[in-house]
Amino acid sequence: MSATPHTRAVGDADVTGTPVVLDDLTAIVREHDTLYDWAAEQPQPRAMRGRAPVYVATLPICGIPVVVRHGWHGGVLAPLTADRFRRPTRAPVEMERSAALRAAGIPTTEVLGFARYPASFGLCHVDVVTRYVPDAADLGMVLAGLAPFVDCETALSSTQRLLVQLARHGVIHPDLNVKNILLRPTPDGIEALIIDVDVVRWDATRAPHETLRANIARLTRSMRKWRAHFGCEVTDARIAAFTDAVTTDLMSASLPR
């Protein structure tokens, strides 16, 4: 698990980060007002997924490459609430759950810190910083044929392993969609990571098959929606086979050895 994060005040803002990045984040907010503004100004910033551009940049002191994203609301109230949140925001929850999942052996991105800035009506804006995962693509990109380093079958097999891990630990992701599963190459093959974990519900006493059923239902619904929008060749038969394979994997993992 990452070292205990600390918080510092920077003018009207506050910055929270692990010890290795806290000096960087503090200095950036002091000089550039927000982490997001700094990341957007970096030479050749790489825009990534998100409701708004998400930038990759390298922290100047510790040299760690990071992803910086600005917090935005989703859902029907998004046009009204936009990027304004009640304190403490979801950022501390995301940071805590990221560390807890990783400590449990569930692959996810590492949240290194966040910064909050005052907004109108006593609300605040928030930027979140995660460690950059190089050479990665989300499952949606793979299904659409936009990730040449991994084929669809390998990506689905890696996703099966992730779903079994989540089921065994009782972790339900209520927004588990093809954009919230990240695939990355490792020396042992392709690893699937779960991301956007601030919304996960963790109950170790929940029966694994119940957890699996909830995650599978959400993910396969997302696969069908993705197919309708992008025309990727993931048939209903392939989705059914994927569901059966994950269920079999979970049953096998639950058998005494």
Tokens standing for 55?
A: 């930038």
Q: How many C-beta atoms surround the C-beta of residue 250 within 10 A? A: 21
Burial of 131 (0-12, 13-18, 19+ CB in 10 A): middle
Mean pLDDT of 222-226: 94
Mean pLDDT (the chain, rounded): 91
* Residue 179 pLDDT greater than 90, yes or no: yes
Name 187's Cβ contacts closer than 8 Å, sequence gap at least 6: none
pLDDT tens digits for range 94-109: 999 999 999 999 999 9
Tokens standing for 204?
A: 């170790």
Q: What is the pTM of this model?
A: 0.90
Q: How confident is the model at residue 3 (pLDDT cuts 50, 70, 90)?
A: confident
DSSP-assigned letters across all residues of 118-129: E-GGG-EEEEEE
Going by CATH, does the domain composed of 137-252 fall within 1.10.510.10? yes
Mean pLDDT lowest for which of 47-56, 70-79, 124-133? 47-56
Nearest to 127 by CA among 117, 119, 115: 115
Distance of CA 154 to the CA centre of its chain: 20
CA pair distance 15, 24, nearest whole angstrom:
10
Per this entry, what is the length of the chain? 257
Please report, for the chain, the start and end positions of each structural domain, with discontinuous segments joined by +.
Answer: 6-131, 137-252
- What pLDDT was estimated at residue 48? 59
Burial of 189 (0-12, 13-18, 19+ CB in 10 A): exposed
* Residue 1 pLDDT greater than 50, yes or no: no
Strand 171-172 versus strand 124-131 pairing type: unpaired
- What pLDDT was estimated at residue 117? 98
Question: Which residue do the tokens 């990341």 mark?
Answer: 39
Q: How confident is the model at residue 257 (pLDDT cuts 50, 70, 90)?
A: very low
CA pair distance 66, 107, nearest whole angstrom:
17
218 in Cβ contact with 177 (< 8 Å): yes
- What pLDDT was estimated at residue 77? 63
Name 202's Cβ contacts closer than 8 Å, sequence gap at least 6: 97, 100, 169, 170, 171, 172
